[in-house]
Chains A and B, each alone.
Chain A
């Protein structure tokens, strides 16, 4: 079928196998004779390992291998996963060992692995392994982790500070000194895990004849995994192939390279047999990266009109027990705060704190929702103090459209200037407010209150840096069957990446989606690549696909012009062939390929270069800034603390929309994740560092009955930074939602003067706030 392929909701390439139950997720791949792995994980948050007795496990029938760190050391170039992104802010280096040696520093840290006939036997054997621990004191709360008296996360470490940095511009102290008004607040924020419905996992096999390690791996970053496997196993980069099959969601933590990936690959190599390991849900809770606590001590200076003069403060950020990615999450928090609004002076410090908990790495939004939450809450409080409408104070502070592109006086973590390239933030807020009936809500709220119902409305804005560079390669080639084969370092993890690439390529090459095949996430298909994170793939891989497809288009036309003896401008591509406009004369892609493949001893037609294959890796260093506004309407049951989110109006600008239905889907899913962050999701550790919430019965994800009415408004200001005008959208939905929902809850409870400085907030916590506020009122009244 041919037709327009960009800007319309074409059927997705991904869907047919997935709805038939014929997808191929990593656990669906059964290699003949494969064995399965189970890990022995620390039951202590912090302990010395005195001894590990593996004899009983090894004696169990069906067990082929048991490995502890000492068994693996002779076979690795390094046993430490040095994965931290570069930063001058580190105060100590705490890389994860592939298995714990003398010391375990979080409950769930892998200590040993069992390889057996199947997972049942492997888990039996793991249960027979006796680990002799000497428990050490643990630290699990960032609020006291930097105290001199606090236990050290690593027993020999000087302290629990892993990194510190600040983001600063302007003379913030002078701004505070002369400010008519200031306000000081403390916020306590938490995000939780990613909880992709598919956990992590991999299957590895080592071909002894070719010396090639192949692994199917549920990872967002196959090229990074390949590099690390090469480094650890001392293999050349043409001897390792990492393939991401269908990915059952990623949402951040699958971009990290984990201990299990190194160990399973090594076990497969040492044992000479395919080995599979599939993370179960409990393991996901205690071993996959999460985002957890941040405490913000923050001050804001402003004038009597509510204009922001400066923001300063200090953030404590839970880093977990090791560096699994770097300082990017708190950097994201710090840099998200001053984006949408005019913040003339700013100094926000952050201390990254080690705790005896699972390492922290990005979860959809990567720290940005927290920074947005803080500035949005401060604006609400300022509005309250000044008697201003909460939307009005935002209107006064939002960066106006006429200033686009607007350079902010700071840089990204990679040192790239922050230039907000496009968008109309005040218009976005206004459209969301109008749709949500912001101005008329007061009457509805008053009417509800006479019925004893507490409804509230909240608003929040966001600006998000998307499309992190530098590039993502795409190769476009024509196959012997005349099909267009597209390969990319990008990874398809649910955001319809294959469809996106096919749409962009089809737009240049015949408009037939059925004639395009897409390979993603295979290191054998592209030499270079980064993968899926930071709302980047449509921006980067999309741009490369566009460029490669244009080159292919031009060559197809050029060769056809020679073959058909017709001027290039008289030719057009239609389906899988090039035809002379307004005539029957045509030549198929397959025939064109044959012509440029050559015949031994004969000239190529018109000396055209051989083959039909183009690889492009369009480099785009500056990030492109997406933006939007959310209005939440909630109802609070003041007796139970239950919050019902009735409605979310979400206005957003992701630039040019390639596929309206997919963009809607990305935003809706992000909003639901944001609702979880506002009201439900909390990874709880006790004071000894024991994880408390390790099932979906204890850790709540938003379900179908929590879905509010959601209304999306699309503003579309194409970015000038890439040829297609695209900005990223995968994370946008989540960013303003905790702020908007909490604002709405506070608004609903305004008769009591409840103030909320945390997210998420649970029903019991909300009831406690209501009770305390009512007690204050009755004291005041008496």
Chain B
């Protein structure tokens, strides 16, 4: 089936089998391999992407269900050569080790902080309970998110909703 969708700011038309998951379509049809597959049953959060502003599990969604959607994947977070404030904070705080869960962490937190730039530590921690990480113990991830909040607050102020 042919679907049209917007991914990381580009309008894309792609032919997918009806049963293909969205994460497989991104990875195999569109070579967007930054989105990782960790469990394929919606628990680990590695495959999280942002669909119409909301963080969703791309392993639990069929590609055809994303027809017409606006999608941001981890590849869409950086501004050209510059890391996004959240990506830079991850690097600063050693919030990634093997890096496999990182794309899902980044997209989950990007969706959260875009929506709630003043999210508390408790709120951040609560939101990423849906993302498993075996390497870091989560503390540096929470610290990175807290560190990045200011940038989201600034962009909220400069472009009020």
Q: Which A residues are within 8 Å of any B CB, using their own CB? A: 9, 11-12, 14-16, 18-25, 27-28, 30, 118, 120, 194-198, 246-249, 251, 280-281, 493-496, 661-662, 664-665, 668-669, 671-673, 695-697, 701, 703-705, 707, 710
CB of A693 to closest CB in B, whole Å = 12
A661 to B136, CA, bound (A): 11
Which residues of B sit under 8 angstroms from A198, Cβ to Cβ? 36, 38, 98, 100
Q: Do the beta carbons of A19 and B137 come within 8 Å of each other?
A: no
Can you give 23 contacting A-B residue pairs, CB < 8 Å?
A11-B91, A12-B94, A18-B99, A20-B74, A20-B83, A21-B33, A21-B34, A27-B27, A28-B27, A120-B20, A196-B98, A197-B98, A248-B36, A249-B134, A281-B44, A494-B97, A494-B98, A668-B140, A701-B132, A704-B131, A704-B138, A705-B129, A710-B137
Which residues of A sit under 8 angstroms from B12, Cβ to Cβ? none
A705 to B131, CA, bound (A): 11
Which residues of B sit under 8 angstroms from A697, Cβ to Cβ? 41, 43
A645 to B132, CA, bound (A): 18
Q: Do the beta carbons of A673 and B41 come within 8 Å of each other?
A: no
From known contacts A12-B91, A248-B99, A664-B94, infer whether A28 and B138 are also in contact, taking CB-CB under 8 Å: no
- Closest A-B pairs by Cβ, 3 of them: A21-B34, A494-B98, A248-B100
Q: Across the two chains, which residue of chain A brings its CB closest to B8?
A: A21
Q: B110-133, CB under 8 A of A: which get 1 and which 0?
A: 000000000000000110110111
A15 to B34, CA, bound (A): 13
Of the listed stretches B50-58, B101-109, B150-158, chain A binds B101-109
Q: Do the beta carbons of A30 and B31 come within 8 Å of each other?
A: yes
CB of B22 to closest CB in A, whole Å = 14
A20 to B74, CA, bound (A): 6
A694 to B83, CA, bound (A): 37
CB of B4 to closest CB in A, whole Å = 22
Main secondary structure of the interface of A (DSSP, over half): loop
Q: Across the two chains, which residue of chain A brings its CB closest to B73?
A: A21
Tell me the count of chain B residues lying within 8 A, CB to CB, of chain A. Answer: 54
Q: Across the two chains, which residue of chain A brings its CB closest to B101?
A: A197
From known contacts A19-B96, A671-B137, infer whether A197 and B132 are also in contact, taking CB-CB under 8 Å: yes
Which of B74, B132, B135 has a CB less than 8 Å from the CB of A21?
B74
Q: Across the two chains, which residue of chain A brings its CB closest to B87?
A: A19
CB of B76 to closest CB in A, whole Å = 9
A707 to B19, CA, bound (A): 38
Q: Across the two chains, which residue of chain B brings its CB closest to A248?
A: B100
A668 to B27, CA, bound (A): 31
Q: Across the two chains, which residue of chain A brings its CB closest to B19?
A: A120
A695 to B39, CA, bound (A): 8
Which residues of B sit under 8 angstroms from A22, Cβ to Cβ? 34, 75
In the complex, given contacts A20-B78, A21-B74, A707-B125, what are 10 additional A-B residue pairs having Cβ atoms less than 8 angstroms apart?
Answer: A20-B75, A24-B33, A194-B134, A281-B38, A494-B97, A494-B99, A496-B97, A696-B44, A704-B129, A710-B139
Q: Across the two chains, which residue of chain B brings its CB closest to A661?
A: B94
Which residues of B sit under 8 angstroms from A494, Cβ to Cβ? 97-99, 135
Q: Across the two chains, which residue of chain B brings its CB closest to A249?
A: B98
Interface membership of B63, Cβ < 8 A: no
Interface membership of B46, Cβ < 8 A: yes
Q: Do the beta carbons of B137 and A668 come within 8 Å of each other?
A: yes
Q: Do the beta carbons of B83 and A197 come within 8 Å of each other?
A: no
From known contacts A21-B34, A198-B100, A696-B44, infer whether A669 and B135 are also in contact, taking CB-CB under 8 Å: yes
Q: Across the two chains, which residue of chain B brings its CB closest to A284?
A: B39
From known contacts A494-B97, A669-B135, A672-B138, infer whether A197 and B17 are also in contact, taking CB-CB under 8 Å: no
From known contacts A19-B102, A20-B78, infer whether A669 and B97 are also in contact, taking CB-CB under 8 Å: yes
Q: Do the beta carbons of A25 and B100 come within 8 Å of each other?
A: yes
Which residues of A sit under 8 angstroms from B103, Cβ to Cβ? 21
Interface membership of B32, Cβ < 8 A: yes
CB of A12 to closest CB in B, whole Å = 7
A672 to B103, CA, bound (A): 21
Q: Do the beta carbons of A247 and B98 come within 8 Å of each other?
A: yes
Which of B34, B36, B75, B134 has a CB less than 8 Å from the CB of A701?
B134
A373 to B32, CA, bound (A): 45
Which of B28, B91, B125, B133 has a CB less than 8 Å from the CB of A705?
B125
Q: Across the two chains, which residue of chain A brings its CB closest to B106?
A: A19
